[in-house]
Amino acid sequence: MSVDLSQFIPSFLEESFEGLELMESGLLNLQPGDNETIHSIFRAAHSIKGGAGTFGFDSVTDFTHLVETLLDEMRDGRREVTNADTEILLESVDCMRLLIEAARDESDYDTEKVAQTSSRLAQTLGNEQLTSDENVSVDKVGSESATGFNIKFVPEHSLAKTGNDPLFLFSALAELGSLTIHANTNELPALMDIDAQELYLSWQLTLIGEVDEEEVKEIFEWVEDECLLELTPIDNKLPQEKTENEPTFQQENTTAPAIDETTPQIQESQIAAANPKSADEKATVSKTKAKTEVGSIRVGVDKVDSLINLVGELVITQSMLSELGNDFVMEKVERLNSGLEQLLQNTKELQESVMRIRMLPISFAFSRFPRLVHDLAVKTGKAMELVIKGEQTELDKTVMEQIGDPLVHLVRNAADHGIEASDIRVAQGKPEKGTISLDAYHQGGNIVIEINDDGAGINRESVLAKAVDKGLIDANATLTDSQVYDLLFEPGFSTAAEITDISGRGVGMDVVKRNIQALGGRIQVESTLGKGSTFKVNLPLTLAILDGQLVKVGSETYIIPLIAIVESLQIDNKLINRVSGDMVLYRLRDDNVPVLPIYQLFDLETECIEIDNALLVVVEADGQKVGLMVDDLLAQQQVVIKSLKDNYQQVAGISGATILGDGSVAMILDIPGMISMALEKAQYAQKFKNGGDSVKAEVCI
């Protein structure tokens, strides 16, 4: 019975991605003479290569071999750390990520990118290369090609009992040249069946160097009667020059042979030919790879212990209630009420504990940005640095996964159109190096992520002029700064003089806003011309539970997210202002707030159709305040969100649903969606475009 290695693939993939992050972080901070960091990067690459070889991810093994060789020269002091080497290693990390993702998803990868990077690595190592204008290849020792042997070494199981250790043999081989070792574990039995005195492994060795066959055989002389030994000379031609009649070395291992150090790029045909393992074994691994798409999360032991303790408390409470149910008499009512209160408390604590399991430090989302800013600095030629704060602030895993792309777009905008060139900054009295900062913190039960830059800021007048030119606003409009900056999120809106392939301030910003709103969040912009800009993203901590205000409209109960509510009030008739059409405005201190009767939007029957007798819930979204007219305010409570799209279909003005304590279903209002519905229904935008009184200009955008 052999060990099913495929069960360990998910762990390998998770550890490999962590290793890639470690390599990338180390390379970004690598300084000459920092041997500890180089060793750390090398160990990560070595672990990835070893694991990939074990599971048959041949392309990962072969590519990482070149990366490992370059890092090995650095850690041994044979090569100095240069910016050029750091850049090629960062590019190599990208390729390793592509290869591992392709292995995980059973998908194709960018073979051209991998081949080009592999060629650059080989060139950096001084290996043999074939240029476009040369047909003669020269390797690092100056000969036309390297020589060596592929060695198949299959010892008998009893080899170790005779006092022979394969490690001594490999050590002797390594003195003859460059040695690459791949272990074959096909005959490894189950753990319970292993005999500690038996040897179950076999090896595939690749020896590169000027060495004679007799020298190799001499090393194996002491064990030649206790093993199967096959030596195959390595072809001294480049892979492109091989003919169909030339033999290709075959191996029994599940992994491909190591890449020849004289080969400038990975040859997929060679890998396939050198790996003729049975289709059944590969099918087993492939099925497992497909299963690894299921997400995973690492949880601290303290959180697990807390959960176990709470479950224990819940079991005790359940037992107490069950005992009270036996031969129940009225004298037990007080104990019953006490037990129910304890059950309520246990349930609440259990809910909070489970939610904490899904919470991860936002550093998982922020970790990509040091590399991003580094690459943008190289591409734009600008001097800039990234400052990260609040990286231990926790956020729901689902929210974190979906906020990544919007944050990337905002950071790219800051680097491309926010930060100025160094000469311009110096002329303005600013530091030569621009600063982009990411900050995360909790505020009022939500999480706020700020993206700041100390760049040029947003030109308010340019934004207004562009909006008038595109017909988004009237030339005589009077808008607040918040309303002006909200125009940046209109589809296709941009004030950039030149649109680059990195970003264009405004291009795609509508998608950023839409994605943030889909998470139940909002985005605000603050800017000072010449000083910089701040994009503030406000998000709920989780998408599973919502803090809401229950309201009554007719016979229906709706839930308004607390995050959107500004205040609730009884309508004062003196502050009502009826303007042209059906529009009703309510004077709220310095604002004129449009009133939206919910019963009209959803065609409900209710006795409270007069605004004089209604309650007003003032909500805010996208910088626009509106008042929702409701019949009554009920309780505030946390509700579990159920998706309408998954269980029914998407409904305009509704973001989801929940089940209340009495078993009834209540709809959760989508505040931005309701505002859009009301604007379309009342044709606010058209009225504003055609002019109108100053009151409408204040409240419509």
The confidence score (pLDDT) of residue 559 equals 93
Is residue 505 very low, low, confident or very high in pLDDT (cuts 50, 70, 90)? very low
The confidence score (pLDDT) of residue 284 equals 41
Q: Fold for 5-124, please state it.
A: Four Helix Bundle (Hemerythrin (Met), subunit A) (1.20.120)
Q: Cβ distance 443 to 463 under 8 Å?
A: no
Q: Cβ distance 629 to 595 under 8 Å?
A: yes
The confidence score (pLDDT) of residue 136 equals 29
The confidence score (pLDDT) of residue 638 equals 81
**Which residues, in sequence order, are CB contacts of 28 under 8 Å at separation 6+?**
90, 370, 371, 374
* pLDDT of 263 above 70: no
Is residue 246 very low, low, confident or very high in pLDDT (cuts 50, 70, 90)? very low
Which tokens in the block code for residue 542? 């989780």
Average pLDDT over residues 422-449: 89
Q: Is 551 helix (H, G, I), strand (E, B) or coil?
A: strand
Task: Give CA angle at 680 (676, 684), nearest 5°.
Answer: 100
Average pLDDT over residues 281-310: 61
CA dist 25 and 89 (Å) reads: 12
Average pLDDT over residues 31-41: 86
Is residue 673 very low, low, confident or very high in pLDDT (cuts 50, 70, 90)? confident
* pLDDT of 242 above 50: no
Average pLDDT over residues 470-492: 83
Which has the higher per-residue pLDDT, 332 or 559? 559
Percentage of the residues of the chain whose pLDDT score is greater than 70? 80
Q: Which residue has the tokens 């839930």?
A: 559
Give pTM, 2 decimals.
0.59
**What does the pLDDT look like over 589-621, one tens digit per residue?**
888 888 888 888 888 888 888 887 789 999 987
Give Cα 314 distance to the centre of its chain: 36
Average pLDDT over residues 645-649: 72
The confidence score (pLDDT) of residue 53 equals 82
Of the candidates 123, 128, 160, the residue with the CA atom closest to the CA atom of residue 144 = 128
Which has the higher per-residue pLDDT, 300 or 659? 659
E strand or H helix at 175, and its extent? none
Assigned CATH class of 545-699: mainly beta
Q: Cβ distance 521 to 539 under 8 Å?
A: yes
26 exposure class (CB count in 10 Å sphere: 0-12, 13-18, 19+): buried
Which tokens in the block code for residue 220? 């194996």
Average pLDDT over residues 148-177: 84
The confidence score (pLDDT) of residue 122 equals 85
CA dist 168 and 165 (Å) reads: 6
The confidence score (pLDDT) of residue 275 equals 39
Span of 74-83, 236-245, 410-419 with lowest mean pLDDT: 236-245
* pLDDT of 540 above 70: yes
Is residue 644 very low, low, confident or very high in pLDDT (cuts 50, 70, 90)? confident
* pLDDT of 678 above 70: no
The confidence score (pLDDT) of residue 95 equals 93
The confidence score (pLDDT) of residue 445 equals 67
Superfamily of domain 361-540: Histidine kinase-like ATPase, C-terminal domain (3.30.565.10)
Which has the higher per-residue pLDDT, 188 or 48? 48
* pLDDT of 585 above 90: no
The confidence score (pLDDT) of residue 143 equals 36
Task: Give CA angle at 360 (356, 362), nearest 5°.
Answer: 140
Helix then strand then coil, in percent of the chain rounded to 5, is: 45, 20, 35
CA dist 130 and 495 (Å) reads: 47
Could you tell me the CA-to-CA distances from 126 to 140, 261, 425, 651 in Å, in that order? 5, 10, 41, 63
Helix ranges (H only) for 470-615 are 481-486, 509-518, 598-601
Is residue 253 very low, low, confident or very high in pLDDT (cuts 50, 70, 90)? very low
The confidence score (pLDDT) of residue 444 equals 65
Residues in the chain: 701
Q: Is 547 helix (H, G, I), strand (E, B) or coil?
A: strand
Of the candidates 219, 198, 197, the residue with the CA atom closest to the CA atom of residue 207 = 219
CA dist 113 and 265 (Å) reads: 11
E strand or H helix at 152, and its extent? strand 148-155
Average pLDDT over residues 255-284: 36
* pLDDT of 32 above 70: yes
**Which residues, in sequence order, are CB contacts of 397 under 8 Å at separation 6+?**
295, 297, 358, 359, 360
The confidence score (pLDDT) of residue 503 equals 54
- Mean pLDDT, the chain, rounded, equals 78
User: What is the domain partition of the chain in residue ranges?
Assistant: 5-124, 148-236+250-280, 301-357, 361-540, 545-699
Average pLDDT over residues 428-444: 90
Which contacts (CB < 8 Å, 24+ apart) does range 587-592 have? 588/618, 588/625, 588/627, 591/625, 591/698, 591/699, 592/695, 592/698, 592/699
Q: Fold for 148-236+250-280, please state it.
A: Alpha-Beta Plaits (3.30.70)
The confidence score (pLDDT) of residue 128 equals 37
Which has the higher per-residue pLDDT, 601 or 1? 601
Percentage of the residues of the chain whose pLDDT score is greater than 90? 15
Which tokens in the block code for residue 450? 């700020």
